[in-house]
Amino acid sequence: MADVFITLKEAAGFEGVAYDTLKKRIARNPKEYKTKAQPREGGGKEQVLVSVASLTPKARKAWRAAQKVDGRDVIIDKRADAAPWYVGADLNHFIEGDGGKRKKAYYEAVELAARVQDFIDYDGPDKTEYGYGYAVTLGVSLPTLYRYVNAVLEANAWALKMEKEDGQGRDYFRALALCRKPREKATFPSLTDEQRAVIENIWFDRRFAANLGTVEMLYEKFQEIAEGRGWEDYPSIKTVSRYINHLMDSRGAASARYLAANGSREWKNKKMLKARRDATSLKVMEYVVGDEHTFDVWVQWTAPNGKIKAVRPKLVAWLDMKSRAIIGDVACVEANSQTLKESLVKMIYSEPGGVPHILHVDNGKDYTAQTMTGQSRKRRKIDFEFDAETVGFYQSIGIEEVGRSLPYQPWDKPIERFFGTVCSKFSKWFESYVGTLTGSKTYAKRQKDVDKMLERGELLTLEEFFEVWTAWKEKYHAREHRGLKDAGEKWTTPGEMFANGPRYEKAVPPREYAAMLLMKADKARVYNYGINKFGTVYTDYELAHYVGKTVGIKWDIDDVTKLYVFDEEGRKICEAVSPELLAFGPHCSQAALERHLRDQKRQEREMREILESMTRPYELRGEEGGRPSEAVGAIDLTIKAQGRPRVIMIPQDKEFRQEAAALSKAKKAGAGDEFLGKKADSALARLRAMNE
C-alpha cells in the first residue's frame, strides 16, 4: 500500500478521528507519516496528501474495505465534496457527441478502467514494485497510474451511491472518469446577459418573424440599440449569427419562432402534436367522414344558359374510416346542401351501402346548414332532440350522431390525407393540371392556357371527367392500403374490407321517402288565390282551408311544376300545381271558369256545413239528418231587431230592365194561353153533351 496517497480528510475518516486531530498528529510526528503536496485544480494553497502505508492497521483495513464494491459507499461523502462532471452526463450524448469523435476514446477508457480496477484489487506483496511494472505495461508513469486509481475509486463510490438511490447500475462511470471532460460549447463569453436578451427579443418578435426578418436586419437593429444604450463594446455580426443558430438548435425554439412567424392556425397545422387513430375497433359504416375537394384540373362545362365554360370540378365524397373506401362521391361545379343530400343518398343506396352510425362533417355552411342539422349552424354541438321528419336531413335518413369538425383544423378529418393522394396520383395525369393552388404550396402552380385549351376542345367534359375519376377510384379500392396492412387487418384493400369486413347494420329508409327528403324545403303563406313561388301561382282546393296561414312546401329542383304542401305538424295537405289563369272577357276558358265556380260553391257549402255543425245544440248532435228546430234549445247569441220586409234596389241598367220586361211579358203570355186552353176544353165538353 506504499505510495498510495489520499487526502487528509479521507485519512481522518479511515482513522475514525477528526480532521484537525489527524493534522495535529502529523505535525507532532512528521517522521511517522509520509506526505506530499500537490497543486489544487482551482489554484490556491497546495493540497496535502498522506500515504496509506503511514496509517494505522485499522485505517489501512478500512481503506482496503473501501476499495471493494460492497463498502465504497461508506466514504462517498469523504471522497468528494461535489459530484464530478460525469454524474449528470448523458452517456449516449457523450459517445455520439462532437460528430462521434469521442466514441473511440470512450471504448479505450472502458478497457483502461478494467485494468485499473485489476490493479486496485491486487492484494499481493510489495504493491509499490508491482505498480511500477503495471504502469509500464499500461504505457504510463506511476503517478499517472495512481491518478487513474483515484479516479476509478471515486467513480465506483458514486456509482454505488446512486445505485442505492434508484437501483440502477452505473459501471460506465469508471470509463467516463478516465475520459477528458467535454469542452463546453456555445458559451458566448463575448455576449452579456443584456445583449443576449436583446437578440432574443428581436429574433422572436412576432412582427419581425412574420416579415421573415433576417440576421442582417436583426444586427442593424442591434447596433441601434447598442448605440442608444451606450455600449462601448458589442460583438460582431458573426457572433450574433452563431448565437442565433445556437438558439434555433435549442429545445422548442424553432417551433416557437414558427408560431410567431405564421400564427396559431398554421402552427397547429404543421407543428402541433397530433395523435394517430386506431380504426381496428370500428365496423364498416360505423364512422364516416365527409368533405369537399376542388380538383387541380380544368374541365369543360355547359352552363344552364348554354354557354360553355372551363371550370375546376368539385368532389363531394365520404370516407369510411374502417375500410378507407370512398363512397357517395359526386362531382359538381358548385357544391351546396342539395349536392350533399344527393351524395348521402348515393352512399346509402349504393351496393353495398347502408346508413352510417356516426357522421363527421366539415365545418362549412353546406354541411352545417339548418336543412341538414335541423338547428342553427351557430350552435357548434349538433343535437338530435327534436322531430326531424321535415327538418334535419341527417337524422331524417337514420344517422344517430353527427360530429362537426373544428374550424381551420384539417387534420381533424382523415379524408384530407386521401385528397392529398388524389392530388399526387390522379390530378397530375391530366393535361389541364395547373398545380396545387393552396396558399402553402403556391410554388407548385403550373402555367396553362386554359382558355385556348377550351377553344381547341382539349378539355374533358364534366361527365367524361367523372368517368375517369370513377375508374381511378375503383383501382384505388383494389390496391393494397398501407394503413390496413400495418393494422394487421385480414382484408388489406379498401374494396375487400368494405365488402367483407364487420359491418354496422341499420335498415335504410324507403326510396320514396329519400326522394321526398331530397326535395328543397321552404315556408310559404297561403293567399286566397293560392301560393306564390318562383313568380308562379300554385293552388289546390285543399288550400282553401289554410288561407292566411303559413305552410311548409317542398319541390323537386328538376321539376318546379308542382309543390308538395305540409301543415305545421308535417302532415301532407296537397300537391299544388300551377292552374290555368282566368283570362278576361272572351279570352276566358269556359272549362276553367266552370271549374273555378264549382270550387267556390263547394268551398261555401263546406264552410256552411262546418258552421252548422259547430252551432248545432248538444241534444241534436247525435241525430242524423233533419234541421234544428227553434223550439228545441237553439241558442241565439246575438241581439237584433225584428225582421222587416227585405228591400232590394232595382237595377238602373237599361238593358237589364228591358231584358227583365221581356221575361215578364213572356210569362204573362204563357199564362193567357193556358187560360184560353182551359176555356176551349170546357166549351168542347158542353157541345158534346148537347149532341148526345
Tell me: do 10 and 144 sit in the same domain. Answer: yes
Phi, psi (rounded to 5 degrees) for 562: -140, 140
CATH code of the domain containing 443: 3.30.420.10
Residue 692 within any structural domain of the chain: no
CA distance 611 to 600: 16
Residue 122's pLDDT is 80
Residue finishing a domain among 142, 177, 212: 177
Structural domain tally of the chain?
4
Residue 199 within any structural domain of the chain: yes
Residue 360 within any structural domain of the chain: yes
Residue 278 within any structural domain of the chain: no
Tell me: do 325 and 201 sit in the same domain. Answer: no
CA distance 298 to 456: 14
Spatial contact of 630 and 620, defined as CB atoms under 8 Å apart: no
Residue 74's pLDDT is 43
Residue finishing a domain among 434, 469, 500: 500
Spatial contact of 322 and 302, defined as CB atoms under 8 Å apart: no
Residue 44 within any structural domain of the chain: yes
Tell me: do 146 and 92 sit in the same domain. Answer: yes
**Neighbouring residues of 322: CB distance < 8 A, sequence distance ≥ 6:** 279, 282, 283, 284, 285, 286, 287, 497, 498, 501
Spatial contact of 348 and 496, defined as CB atoms under 8 Å apart: no
Smallest CA-to-CA distance from 49 within 104, 101, 11 is with 11
Beta strands across the sheet bearing 47-51: 5-7, 47-51, 35-38
Distances (CA, A) of 576 to 390, 509, 547, 553: 18, 26, 14, 9
Tell me: do 376 and 449 sit in the same domain. Answer: yes
Query: Angle, to 10 degrees, between the axis of helix 19-28 and the axis of helix 8-15?
Result: 100
Residue type, 51: S
Residue 335's pLDDT is 82
Residue 638 within any structural domain of the chain: no
Q: Which residues of the chain have pLDDT under 70?
A: 1-3, 42, 65-81, 99, 275, 365-367, 370-371, 374-391, 406-412, 437-444, 511-518, 557-560, 579-600, 602-604, 607, 610, 615-616, 618-692
Distance in angstroms between the alpha carbons of the first and the last residue of the chain: 192
Residue finishing a domain among 454, 469, 500: 500
Residue 226 within any structural domain of the chain: yes
> DSSP readout, 377-412?
TTSSS----S--SSS-HHHHTT--EEEEPPTT-GGG
Tell me: do 400 and 488 sit in the same domain. Answer: yes
Tell me: do 259 and 293 sit in the same domain. Answer: no
Smallest CA-to-CA distance from 552 within 535, 533, 578, 537 is with 533
The answer for 118, left when phi > 0, alpha when psi is -120 to 50, beta otherwise, is alpha
Tell me: do 424 and 564 sit in the same domain. Answer: no
Tell me: do 438 and 551 sit in the same domain. Answer: no
CA distance 295 to 426: 10
CA distance 112 to 96: 20
Phi, psi (rounded to 5 degrees) for 288: -125, 135
CATH code of the domain containing 527: 2.30.30.130
Tell me: do 126 and 81 sit in the same domain. Answer: yes
Residue 65: give the domain boundaries: 5-177
Tell me: do 328 and 472 sit in the same domain. Answer: yes
Residue 627 within any structural domain of the chain: no
Tell me: do 112 and 256 sit in the same domain. Answer: no
CA distance 197 to 188: 13
Tell me: do 485 and 389 sit in the same domain. Answer: yes
